[in-house]
Structure 1
Amino acid sequence: MNVKIMADSASDLADKQYQQYDIEIASLTVELDGEVFMDGKNITPKSVYDAMRNGKKPKTSQVSPQSFKDIFTSYAEKKQSLVYIAFSSELSGTYQTAKMMENEVKEIYPDADLHVIDSKCASIGYGLVVLRIAKMAKDGATVQEIIDMAAYHAKHMEHIFTVDDLEYLYRGGRVSKTAAFVGSLLKIKPILHVDNGKLIPLEKIRGSKKVLGRMIQIMQQRGVDLKNQVIGISHGDDLPRAQQLAEMVQETTGCKEIIIEMVGSAIGSHSGPGTLALFFLNDTYQ
């Protein structure tokens, strides 16, 4: 493989997918009960969700500068091309840190073929972008072809999601305390999306049964060529509802492939158990 693809653990893909395409992974960290864990390595999402259900409040941190410097240096020394597509810069400082380390390494190795790209995506929406360019790299695509495709998919990737409890979004500063309290009291389920990397509330739905149907409607309104897409679903330890949503997607679109994964420990620490997200392209699949 001429071009190495790198992602971070906020892409929420399964280990088998990282291994299949030989993707380099950098881990965000999760602090729980005074211990610091590496997302995707020595802590499971379910353990984070169980802790949150018991009132614990995990904290997360971006990938360390030294981790990036070590990885980038190793590829510079090998003179191998590396394309790192990062977790949205609007949701984490990981991209900015990576850019700083890229510049530092290039001061020492000015010919290093290192590229850091802001995905403006999260969870499986981010993971789908990673998979697309990893397949291209495996098939021998050039660095520029990979960068162009990453930019295209990042720009057109829709994130439509809901959360089970507004309290978790309140803790993360996404909704006010009053909105969280009233929403929980009235059983209001928010539907949110990601716009240019930022988390934006879209609608409020009364009652959880209506939420999945409305998510499908939004996908039909925004999606293009859904039948030929790989569609992503991620969940906060609620596989039955994720599978229910997948069945609705399949019935509605007849799409060729649906990827279902659990929201990872880092993102799940902010969205909470019961999160359900749907990812697709809003333009023709490439």
Structure 2
Amino acid sequence: MSVAVVTDSTAGLTPEEAEKAGVTVVPLQLVIAGASYDDGVDPEATPEHLAEALREFRPVSTSRPSPQVVLETYEDLAETGVEAIVSVHLSSQLSATYESAQLATRRCSIPVVPVDTRQIGAATGYAALAAARAAALGAPVEEVAEVARRQAERITSLFYVDTLEYLRRGGRVGAVGALVGSALAVKPILQVEDGRIVTLEKVRTSVRAIARLEELAMKAAHGEAVDAVDVTVCHLANPEGAERLAAGLSARLGSLLHGEDVAVQEVGAVLGAHVGPGLLGVVVAPRL
């Protein structure tokens, strides 16, 4: 059976990465001042344009792909001879994208298995890539979906933001916590836990936050009985901080990387709209 893998634009896969892996990407929408753009597709929906809009206090919001758009993606794949699809998406606790996939599944002409990774960003991307590798080896559709779930469950996603205000606006953290954090100039280290964003620790400065991110990433990498990990450092408008963090992790992880580099990735505009400029994060994915 020919199995295709679909994911969404929050997974952070570049067009080249997606094409090489055989993964189809459905874009979410970025809305700036009432105008809607496809995340990662339209030139207006780039991290640079987003950061500029946020700094200028223009209204920014996001929306899921409609069930009809997802269905059209599925049917386009079916027309190429694909016999089944595994659709791998960001946490249903943070976006209705997974719901769109579920609704589209009911109307699709071929079997589709939606997967809620309960993750965000590069973590979702790692799950989609693991699924694509299984599909390329000829695994049946349920096994491909299970590979995506297993990969997502083992990933650690950590990050910090300069301010909790953007997460508060989108309802991703509580209003009281956001206001207290801003008033005390606290730099919270956040973690994705069971599909939600939770506060893991609080530190006083960005320098301490970066150092603590590195320590927590090292702990996550050594906490699994595996021989290798993949690591991505994520950022929004913070390339210098991301490169420093990646260099430190590369030096300390050594053989666990099996000759690979720690990847550096600027998050897409849709994710960036909820975290704001200055984001710095680490995704640690033990290899299956």
Q: Residue 282 of structure 2 aligns to which amino acid in structure 1?
A: L
In the superposition, relative to structure 1, how do residues 135 and 184 fare at CA in structure 2: closer, same or farther (>3 Å)? Answer: same
> What are the Cα deviations for residues 75-104 of structure 1, in whole angstroms up to 9, with x where unaligned?
445452211111111110111121111012
Cα pair 2:113 2:142 within 8 Å, conserved: no
Q: Give the number of equivalent residue pairs.
A: 279
Q: Deviations over 1:125-177 (max 9, x none)?
A: 11111122223333433323322211111111111110012221222234455
- 1:98 aligned to 2:96? no
Q: How much is the aligned-residue C-alpha RMSD, in angstroms? A: 2.0
Matched, 1:214 2:215: no
Are 1:129 and 2:127 matched, yes or no? yes
**What is the CA-CA distance between 1:182 and the residue it aligns to?**
4.2
Q: Partners in 1 of 2:12 and 2:231 — Cα distance?
A: 14
In the alignment, the residues of structure 1 paired with residue 77 and residue 233 of structure 2 have an alpha-carbon distance, to the nearest angstrom, of: 33
Aligned counterpart for 2:86 among listed residues 66, 83, 94: 83
Residue in structure 2 matched with residue 280 of structure 1 by the alignment: 284
Counterpart Cα distance in 1 of 2:202 and 2:118: 24
C-alpha separation in 1, matches of 2:10 and 2:235: 14
User: Structure 1 residues 102 and 207, CA, compared in 2 at 3 Å: closer, same or farther?
Assistant: same
What secondary structure sits across from 1:101 in the alignment? helix
Which residue pairs with 1:68 in the alignment? 70
AA aligned opposite 1:86 = H
1:6–1:85 CA contact under 8 A, matched in 2: yes
Q: TM-score, normalised by structure 2?
A: 0.90
Percentage of identical aligned residues? 29
Label 1:73 to 1:9 Cα distance change in 2 as closer, same or farther (>3 A): same
Q: How does 1:210-249 map to 2 (within 5 A)?
A: 210-223=208-221, 224=224, 228-249=228-249
Decide whether aligned partners of structure 1 residues 126 and 72 sit closer, same or farther in structure 2, where only a CA change above 3 A counts. Answer: same
Q: 1:207 to 1:244 in 2, by over 3 A?
A: same
Unaligned runs of 5+ in 2: none
- For 2:275, which of 271, 278, 282 is the aligned residue? 271
Q: Deviations over 1:237-273 (max 9, x none)?
A: 2111111111111122112332211111111111111
Identify which of 145, 152, 172 aligns with 2:150.
152
Per the alignment, in what secondary structure is the counterpart of residue 91 of structure 2? coil
Q: 1:175 to 1:3 in 2, by over 3 A?
A: closer
With structure 1 as the length reference, what TM-score do the two structures score? 0.90
Gaps of 5+ in 1: none
Cα distance, 1:235 vs. partner? 0.6
Letter in 2 for 1:68: V
Do 1:83 and 1:143's aligned partners in 2 also have CA atoms closer than 8 Å?
Answer: yes
Q: Deviation at 1:199?
A: 0.9
Alignment-derived partner of residue 51 in structure 1: 53
CA contact (8 A) 2:2 2:82 kept: no
Paired letter, 1:132: A
Q: What is the Cα deviation at residue 53 of structure 1?
A: 1.4
State the Cα deviation string for residues 173-204 of structure 1 (Å, max 9, x = none).
34455543443343310101011111111111
* Separation in 1, partners of 2:188, 2:198: 10
C-alpha distance in 1 between matches for 2:192 and 2:103 = 25
Q: Distance in 2 between matches of 1:213 and 1:130?
A: 29
Higher mean displacement: 198-207 or 175-184: 175-184
Find the counterpart in structure 2 of residue 9 from structure 1: 9
Between 1:133-142 and 1:193-202, the stretch displaced more is: 133-142
